Structure 1
Amino acid sequence: MGTAALRVTMRESSVTAVQGDHVVLPCSFFTSSPLSRLNIIWTLAPSSSPERPTQVIAYDHGQVMEDPALIGRVGFTGVPWSADIFLNDTRPSDAGIYRCLVNNPPETANSGISELELKVLTPPSLPLCQWDGDADAGGSVTLSCSVEDGVPTPEIHWEKLEPEKTALPINMEGDLSGSIQIFNVSSQTSGLYRCSATNVLGTENCYVGLSIYTAPGRPSGVLQGVLLTLSMCLVLLALVLLALWLHHTGQDGWRRRDGKEECYNEIRYTSSLRSFV
């Protein structure tokens, strides 16, 4: 009489969790033999280094052994009747390909390994904003923005917020960084710029305040007009004050001269005149 084959299957081909979630990784097996010699091993090939798989948790002859780095975060949900495991407080480092290996001697396994992919969604990390270039009028400036983490990969956008909100074209440099180039900068280029890193879990921003230096030169036409008008007003005011002063001093002079003439024209008679015989 032949020995029945052990069957192992994954009920899901992939599982998605948000960072910090509790998640169950399902692994089903069917056996007709006693479970006294049951052996279950879970391994992980991390997304960051798939060529270096590690053992996550194992069950062997009634004993459970966890990866020391995962103690308190990983466990079986119903061993020995179920090979399902759970993960608490999911992290980006938990993402990757999980393999479930089940043995139950004396049965031989018929494809006793099944696998699934765990995706851990994470919000964007805080982006880093920088600028480089010549901030003098007529020069060119490059604004760059990079973000380290985020699943799905964050989308990067640049926009000018002040004095007028304007979306800006961006040059992507890989998946996690992007820049804009501004040529022939002027005073109108000055303002507040924002880089946004966005995915389904949220948005993070960083900012750059750009001030363009304009060398002193000839004043603008409007300023020239204002200065000319002010100069003319000052000259006119000076002429009015001079005319008033001359008019005032002229009246005083005539009064003095009139007083002297009245004194000279006055004829006085005295009784001291003598007669000659």
Structure 2
Amino acid sequence: MGSSGRWIIWTLCACFAARQKTALRIIMRESSLEVVRGDSVLLPCSFFTFSDFSSLNVIWTLAPFSSPKTPVQVIVFDHGQVIKNPSLIGRVHFTGLPFSADIILNDTQVSDGGIYRCMVNNPPDTADPDVGELLLSVLEPPSLPVCEWDGAIDMGGSVRLSCSVEEGVPPPKIRWKKVTPEEISLPINMEVQCHQRVSCLSGELSGSVQIVNVSSQTSGLYRCSATNVLGTENCYVNLAIYNNEAAPDSPSGLLPGVLITLVMSLVLLALLVLVLWLHRTGQDGRGTRGDRKSEEEECYNEIRYTPSLMKRSFV
């Protein structure tokens, strides 16, 4: 007997055994599936029944990852009619009725991820509806991370580098690395020893690095990478650590220069006033001595030109 013949006999035996045990049985050909956001995925659900399909009832429900305790109906087939969740109209369809309960989900979204349950009932089968479960994960590449920094960039200060990612399934792993002038890894993991003077913190979709006692060697370009199975996105922070005495545009560095300039200006102004005063005083002194000399000369001339009067007085 050929393999096809043995397969038929085995199937008949399985069906007979299934009928002896229960009137209806569901077989989920997959227990879990993964799909990339935006793609289509087939959710399989096969069932065996010995009754006709006039009263077939199929219900698909979803317990989403965001709220697993509040399942919602996805699609229903009842007495020949199909009812869809309004939010999924145009995206979900049955593909094999009435011989299978498979459905196809198009343009998948991250919110479609969760536990799907396929429930089938086919009266007059007396058994309770059988249920099959399927875990669906909708994968999504990391979104572009946002890099920020805060703290003191003066020598000896403390700087915190933070990186956050809004989207990504599975949750992206975040890594910090100094890329220039030398390459230094800064793993965001409390169990991994970080580079000297660096302590690390971590979060599911965010990560930060605390750098203490910064020096000129801390200056450089830092990169945050968010990575999952679908790819990597990066953002960058450029740190420049300054000496307190030479920090550009620093108020503590500008004030001494302004004071020195002001003092020198006052000294020069005082010297200029002193020189002008001495110059004017000198001119006034020479003018007074000149006037006195003229008066003396006039008096002398008057005495000099009166000899005749002196002569007549003695005659």
Shift in alpha-carbon separation, 1:36–1:157, aligned structure 2, 3 A: same
Structure 2 letter corresponding to 1:177: S
Moved more, 158-167 or 83-92: 158-167
Counterpart of 2:92 in structure 1 is 74
Query: Which residue among 68, 71, 87 is the counterpart of 1:53?
Result: 71
**Residue ranges of structure 1 left out of the alignment (5+ in a row):** 218-277
Q: Deviations over 1:4-32 (max 9, x none)?
A: 61112211111111112211001111111
Task: Please state how far the C-alpha of 1:154 moved relative to its aligned partner.
Answer: 1.3
Q: Deviations over 1:160-214 (max 9, x none)?
A: 1222222224324332222112111122222221100011100011111212232
Q: Describe how 1:1-277 pairs up with structure 2 within 5 A.
A: 5-109=23-127, 112-170=130-188, 171-216=200-245
- Bigger share in helix: 2
Instruction: Please give the TM-score of this superposition, normalised by the length of structure 1.
Output: 0.74
Instruction: Please give the TM-score of this superposition, normalised by the length of structure 2.
Output: 0.65
Q: Deviations over 1:195-245 (max 9, x none)?
A: 00011100011111212232226xxxxxxxxxxxxxxxxxxxxxxxxxxxx
Identity between Structure 1 and Structure 2 (%): 67
* Structure-2 separation of matches of 1:3 and 1:62: 28
Structure 2 letter corresponding to 1:153: P
Q: Deviations over 1:90-118 (max 9, x none)?
A: 11111100000111111123561111100
Task: Please state how far the C-alpha of 1:155 moved relative to its aligned partner.
Answer: 1.3
- 2:161 is paired with a residue whose SS is strand
Task: Please state how far the C-alpha of 1:134 moved relative to its aligned partner.
Answer: 1.2
- 1:89 is paired with a residue whose SS is coil
Given that residues 7 and 109 in structure 1 are in contact (C-alpha distance below 8 angstroms), is that contact kept between their aligned partners in structure 2? Answer: no
Q: Deviations over 1:221-274 (max 9, x none)?
A: xxxxxxxxxxxxxxxxxxxxxxxxxxxxxxxxxxxxxxxxxxxxxxxxxxxxxx
Structure 2 letter corresponding to 1:202: G
Shift in alpha-carbon separation, 1:211–1:114, aligned structure 2, 3 A: same
- 2:127 is paired with a residue whose SS is strand
Aligned residues: 216
* Structure-2 separation of matches of 1:84 and 1:16: 16
Moved more, 49-58 or 130-139: 130-139
* Structure-2 separation of matches of 1:24 and 1:153: 24
Structure 2 letter corresponding to 1:18: V
Segments ≥4 residues shifted beyond 3 Å:
none
* Structure-1 separation of matches of 2:22 and 2:182: 74
- Bigger share in strand: 1
Q: Which has the higher contact order (CA 8 A, sep 6+)?
A: 1
**Residue ranges of structure 2 left out of the alignment (5+ in a row):** 1-19, 189-199, 247-315
Task: Please state how far the C-alpha of 1:3 moved relative to its aligned partner.
Answer: 11
- 1:108 is paired with a residue whose SS is coil
Given that residues 7 and 110 in structure 1 are in contact (C-alpha distance below 8 angstroms), is that contact kept between their aligned partners in structure 2? Answer: no
Instruction: Give the aligned CA root-mean-square deviation in angstroms.
Output: 1.8
